[in-house]
Amino acid sequence: MSAPAYGHPLPDPDVVRTDDGWIAFGTGPRTADGRAVPAAVSPDLRTWEAIGEVLEALPEEAGESYWAPEVCERDGAWWMYYSVGHGDRGHHLRVARAGTPRGPFRDQGVDLTPGELFAIDASPFRAADGSWWLFFARDVLDAERVGTHLAVAPLPEPTRIGEIVPVLAPDADWQIFARDRPMHGGVHDWHTLEGAHVLEREGVLFLSYSGGSYQGAGYRTAWAWARHPAGPWHRPADGEDILLATDETTGLIGPGHNSFTTGPDGEDVIAFHAWDSERTGRYMHLRRLEVDPRGPGLRVARPAPRHPTGLSRRRRTTRRAAP
C-alpha cells in the first residue's frame, strides 16, 4: 500500500525547493489565533517537521477557509498566492509577502480577481523567457459544460495580474463535481477543473490539473501541453491524459491537486494529496515524475517495492530547480 510522505493531513500540497531543503504548504482553516496555511519542512523529502501556520490571516469577515496556497521567490522576496472565502463560496485570489519561505506571510491588501464570480487555486509560473504568469481556476456560467474552468493571466508585478485568458474547459463526464448543484442563482450539472500547475522542459509547457469532486474516489489528475502559457493548450488522446487516479493496488483514493518540485538528485517530483482509507483526511504523497518533451509525454512512475515514494536514496547534490 502507498504510504503518505507526511504523517499529518496536508491537502493541496505545494512543495518548494529552498536553500536548505524543501517546504510544503497546504490548505487549512483560519485558526483561533489568527493564522492560516499549515506548513512543514524537510531536508530530504523523506522526513518532515511541522512548523505551524505561516500566513497571518485576514479579519474574520474575509472568511475562514484558506485554500491551495502556492509560493514562489521573486524580486528578493517570497510571495504566497491563495484564496479565502466562506466554506466553498465567495473565494477570490489574494497575495501575501514574506522575507523567508517560512514566513510570516502578510497579505498585501489586494483582491487579484475582483471581477470573477469565484476564483481559487492560484499557481505562479515563471517561463523560460523570464515572464511571470498566474494560473488559476474560475467559475464560468456561459459554457457548454458549466462549472469551474482553468485560466491564466500575465503577472507583471507580484501584486497585479493582466488580461485573463481561458486555458482549459471541462470536456468529460468524469469532471462532474455534482449534478443539479445550486450555484450562482441557478441549478447546474457542475463540472470542476482545478489545481493547475505548470513546468517547462525544452520549450514545452506541461500543465497538470485535477477534475471532479475532491470529496470522492472519482477525483483524478490529468495533463495538457502547450508552447506558451496563453496556449493553445492540447490534451493528449483519451486515457493518455490521466496522471493520477484511484488505484486499489496502491491504496490511493482520489489523488489530485498536485505541485512539481526537484528531488535530491535533480529528478522531477510530483507532490499530491490522497484520502486515507477511513476518509478522515487528505495526505501528501510524493512520486517521481517522468517528463518527455519530445513526445510530449508526462507520466507518474509507480513506486518500487519497499520504496513507497519511488524517490532516490542517493546522496543529495546542490542542484536546484529553476526559479
Where in the chain are the domains? Answer: 14-300
Q: What's the pLDDT band for 313 if we cut at 50, 70, 90?
A: very low
Instruction: Say yes or no to pLDDT of 27 above 70.
Output: yes
Q: Which long-range contacts does 199-206 make (Cβ < 8 Å, 24+ apart)?
A: 199/260, 199/268, 199/291, 200/127, 200/128, 201/291, 201/293, 202/293, 202/294, 203/128, 203/227, 203/293, 204/293, 204/296, 205/127, 205/229, 206/291, 206/296, 206/298
pLDDT band at 1 (very low <50, low <70, confident <90, very high): low
Q: What is the pLDDT of residue 239?
A: 78
pLDDT at position 198, please? 98
Q: According to CATH, what is the number of the domain 14-300?
A: 2.115.10.20
pLDDT digits (tens, 9 = 90+) for 141-173: 999 999 999 999 999 999 999 999 999 999 999
What is the share, in percent, of the chain residues with pLDDT greater than 90? 90
Per-residue pLDDT of 96-125, as tens digits, reads 999 999 999 999 999 999 999 999 999 999
pLDDT average, residue stretch 283-292: 97
287 strand-pairing partners: 270
For the segment 215-266, what is each residue's pLDDT rounded down to a tens digit?
999 999 999 999 999 999 999 987 799 999 999 888 999 999 999 999 999 9
Confidence tier at 189 by pLDDT (50, 70, 90) = very high
pLDDT at 321 over 60: no
For residue 79, is pLDDT > 80?
Answer: yes
Q: What is the pLDDT of residue 171?
A: 96
What does the radius of gyration of the chain's CA atoms come to, in whole angstroms?
A: 18
pLDDT of residue 303: 67
Q: In a 3-state reduction of DSSP, which class is residue 173?
A: helix
Q: What is the dihedral of CA 155, 161, 167, 170, to 10 degrees?
A: 130
pLDDT confidence of residue 179: 98
Amino acid sitting at position 9: P
Find, among 154, 124, 150, the residue nearest to 139 by Cα: 150
pLDDT attached to residue 309? 57
The reported pLDDT for the residue numbered 322 is 33
Question: How far does Cα 121 stand from its chain's mean position?
Answer: 6
Question: What DSSP line would sit under 57-72, residue for residue?
Answer: PPPGGG-SEEEEEEEE
The answer to whether 51 and 39 have CB atoms below 8 angstroms apart is yes
Q: According to the model, what pLDDT value does residue 199 have?
A: 97
User: 192 vs 146, 221, 242, CA distance in Å?
Assistant: 9, 12, 15
Residue 315 has pLDDT above 60, yes or no: no
Does the pLDDT value for residue 319 go beyond 60? Answer: no
- 281 pLDDT above the threshold of 60: yes
Q: Is residue 308 pLDDT above 50, yes or no?
A: no
pLDDT of 55 over the 90 cut: yes
pLDDT at res. 311 = 67
> Which whole-number Å values give the CA distances from 111 to 6, 37, 81, in the listed order?
32, 18, 11
Give the predicted TM-score (pTM) of the model. 0.94
* Pairwise CA distance, residues 53 & 76, whole Å: 22
